[in-house]
Every structure is written in structure tokens, then in C-alpha cells.
Amino acid sequence: MHLDAAAGLLVLAGVLGFAVARPRGLPEAVAAVPGAALVVAFGLVSWSQVRDEVVALAPTVGFLAAVLVLAHLADEHGVFGYAGEVIGGLSRGSPRRLLRLVFVLASIVTAVLSLDATVVLLTPVLLSTATRIGVRPRPHLYACGHLANTASLLLPVSNLTNLLAFDASGLSFTRFAALMAAPWLAVVAVEYAVLRRVFAADLGTPAPATTPAATPRTPPPWYAIGVLAATLAGFALSEPIGVHPAWIAAAGAIGLAVPRLTSTPAAEARRLVSAANLPFGAFVFALGVVVLAVRAGPVGDAVDHLVPGHAGLLGMLGAAVLAAVLANLVNNLPATLMLVPLVAHQPGLVLAVLLGVNIGPNLTYVGSLATLLWRQVLHSRDHPPGAGEFLRLGALTVPACLLAGVATLWASLRVF
């Protein structure tokens, strides 16, 4: 039994180590899929368990692929570029005004199109906005990086962790959003207060006398904005009539794809498949199987003992802190896969775990301790990143966000 537990942990460590180090830039699935095969070969997980896990994860992975394609197409339609121009103009060159606008934009983009969209698509746009209007980019980029995690609390689509927990929570799309709305606002407010203070010097510079044009040069991409708004409305309206929100995301993606498929269909289809990031889907399936092997053993039992049994204020705080610690030890995807089944009986605890796994990664700013250490090793020969500032920012925001998030979630559960 102990040998089995060690084998499961070793495979998980190998899969995560590979994903962090990415030798030769190979996709993470290259280690994860053989890892999953290995735990089956060792007899740690039976074929029927694998089948059940894959069936349980399939809607989540499909939903994820649809949201990734939706965000990619929104970018191709120029939504992010346009948003960058709009907030650049509205800021009139003032760094503080720009920060407020970045907070609004990054929170909305993360909530509606997921944290991947904020990190991969929105952040480069905001970097170019900041350099174009001549403000120091650093606070705005930190804001984006932090909000990609903290602002991903609102909707099931905002973060893969939410998608993984959503079906287990038994909550409807709208109830999930209603319960998470107050925590979402609270943690974004905490982030704003801290960043505003930490970057007081960078944000205190005057706006230049000649400010950028207030009106964007490009016309607004109305069609794409309309499709995104309809998709968002569809998420809320589809469930009562028995349609899983994944289908709505797929419909939204098709709505955005159609006008682009007419000119060069083959090349566009290839881009869409690449945006759906199929190796990532394979990674999630394989990671699910490997974590299943660990969860079934003594490690799962030990974590189960630590999980609070009751969704009171203290119980939820305990669950959130445990989730945040686990997320920083092994990254938040395995932490979610590990914890969610253990708390699935109580929606309050599921949401508290999500607070932990979504807010927690900001503590190490790169998602986990392993990633942080690996980056320090990688950069030790050239410019070691000034991790001190990042860690200080994480230490200031994460505990405060967890407290604010849990307190508001507790209050929300009393109201709704």
C-alpha cells in the first residue's frame, strides 16, 4: 500500500516537474499521458476508474477548448486591441486613471473570457498601450498578472479550476455567479488598494501636456462585442432549459468564426484547432488520472483529514487556506483535482476551495513554489528576476484577499 502511494506521488512529481521545466519546449502532455498510462499499468487506477474520470472531465475540457477558441477569435476580431486604445484614450495619459481602467478591463476580460485571455491576449495589448502613451508599464502589468488569478472567481468560465469544480458543486451558472460576485468585487478592491500603495511612485507621475487622442483610430468591432455579449447572456439563460453552458461557448465561438472562415477556410480552421489547444486538453485528462491515483492512497486520506467538514466561516477559511497552500506546493490544477471531490458534498466548501486555488497562486506570482525555484535556477546566470518585489506583493495581497474573499462568500451564502 505504501509502495503504491510512493509510486503515485512519484508519477505526479514527474508529470509536474516536466510541466514546469518543459525540456526542449515539449508540450506538457508528453509526460502527462505516459504518466497516466503508468499509474494504470501499476494497477493504482483501474480502467473503469479511468473511463469514469475521462467521462467526468470531458464536458470541462470541451468547455475549456470552446472558451479558448472564443477568446482567440475575439482577439482576431480586434476586441483587445480596441479595448487597449479605448482605455489609453480615456486615461488621458494619467497613470492612476490608466490603472483604474486596467482593473476594470482585466477583471471583465478574466471573468468573461478566462484568465488565459488576460495573460496571453490582453497583457501584451496593455504593455503596448502603456508604452504608447508614455506611462511606466510595470504597475499595469503586475495588475494584469494578479487579476488574471483573483478576478477569475466570478464565473465558471473564468478559470479552468472553476470549470473543474463547477459540475461537482451542483450549483447553476447563475447561482455560482451570484455567490461569487461579492468575493470577486472584494478581492479586486483589495488588490487595487495594495497595488496603488506599493506602486505609489510609478503611479504618481504627471500626465504629459500632450495627451493621446481620446477617440480610437480603429472602428469598434461591434459584431464581435455583440456575439460576446450574447454568449454571456446565453450562459445565464441556457441552463434553466437544460443546455450545458459549454454548448453556448461553442455557439459563441462559431458565431465569431463564421465571418472569418469565408476567405481562407483551411488556414483559419488550422488556427482555430491550434487555439483550442488540444495538447492542453490531453494534459488535463492525464493529470486527472494521475491525481486520482494519489487521491485514492494515503496522501488523499491525509488531505481528506485536513479538509474541514463543515461550511461555517472557520471551515471555509480553513478550506481556502489549505487550497492556497496546496496550490503553491503543486500548482493549482492538481490542487483543484485533489480537493474538489473531497468537498463536493458542500457548495460552500467547493467555493472556498476555489478562493484558495484562484487567489493562492499570486503568492509565488508564477503559480507555485516549484515554478518559482525553477525560474530562479534558469535565470541565475543572466539577470535573476527581482523575485523580492513580486513576493512582497504576493505576501501583501494573498492573505488579505483570502480573508476578504471568505468573509464575503460567507455573507453571500447567508443572503442567497
Partner 1 sequence: MRIVVWVTEGTWQACVDTARDLPATAVTLVHVIDPDTIEAIGGARAGLLGRGLTGDAGTLAALTDGQTRLLDAAEDRLGRTARRDPRHGRPEREVVAACAGADLVILARDGDRSRLGPRSIGPHTRFVVDHAPCQVLLVWPDTPPDPATLPPPHR
Smallest distance from partner 1 to CB 165, Å: 16
Among 167, 239, 304, 389, binds partner 1 (CB under 8 A): 389
386 binds partner 1 (CB under 8 A): yes
The answer to whether residue 361 forms part of the interface with partner 1 (CB under 8 A) is yes
Find the binder of partner 1 among 365, 401, 404, 413 (CB under 8 A): 365
CA angle 234, 237, 240 (to 5 degrees): 140
Q: Report the residue from 51, 138, 270, 392 that binds partner 1 according to the rule CB under 8 A.
A: 138
What's the rounded Cα separation, in Å, for the pair 50 and 325? 28
Q: Minimal distance in Å, beta carbon 242 to partner 1?
A: 31
According to CB under 8 A, which residues from 84 to 103 bind partner 1?
95
Q: Pick from 2, 3, 23, 25: which binds partner 1 (CB under 8 A)?
A: 25
Stretch that binds partner 1, among 20-28, 173-181, 312-320, 398-406 (CB under 8 A): 20-28
3-state secondary structure of 78: coil
> Rule CB under 8 A: is residue 161 a binding residue for partner 1?
no
End-to-end Cα, the chain, rounded Å: 44
Residue by residue, DSSP assigns 184-244 as: HHHHHHHHHHHHHHHTHHHHTSPPPSSPPPSS-SSPP-HHHHHHHHHHHHHHHHHGGGT--
- Let me know: does 19 contact 32? Beta carbons within 8 Å: yes
Q: How far is the CB of 362 from partner 1 (least distance, A)?
A: 9
For residue 23, state whether it binds partner 1 (rule: CB under 8 A). Answer: no
Site for partner 1 in 270-299 (CB under 8 A): 277, 279-280, 283-284, 287
Q: Which residue of 162, 358, 368, 397 would you call a contact of partner 1, by CB under 8 A?
A: 368
148 contacts partner 1 (rule: CB under 8 A): yes
Please report whether residue 405 would count as binding partner 1 according to CB under 8 A: no
Scan residues 34-93 and list those touching partner 1 (CB under 8 A).
Answer: none
Regarding 204 and contact with partner 1 (CB under 8 A), the answer is: yes
Determine the Cα angle at 408 with ends 199 and 181, to 5°: 80
Q: How far is CA 47 from CA 41, 320, 416, in A?
A: 10, 33, 41
Q: Specify burial of residue 198 (Cβ count, 10 A radius: 0-12, 13-18, 19+).
A: middle
User: Using CB atoms within 10 A of its CB, is residue 209 exposed (0-12), middle (13-18) or buried (19+)?
Assistant: exposed
Smallest gap from residue 414 Cβ to partner 1 (A): 33
d(CA 253, CA 251): 5
- Pick between residue 127 and residue 325 the one whose CB is nearest to partner 1: 127
Helix, strand, coil percentages (3-state) for the chain, rounded to 5, are 80, 0, 20
Task: Please tell me whether residue 397 binds partner 1 under the rule CB under 8 A.
Answer: no
Which residues of the shown chain bind partner 1 in the complex (CB under 8 A)? 16, 19-20, 22, 25, 27-29, 32, 95, 115-116, 119-120, 123-124, 127-128, 131-132, 134-138, 141-142, 144-145, 148-149, 200-202, 204-206, 208-209, 277, 279-280, 283-284, 287, 331-333, 361, 365-368, 371, 375, 383, 385-386, 389-390
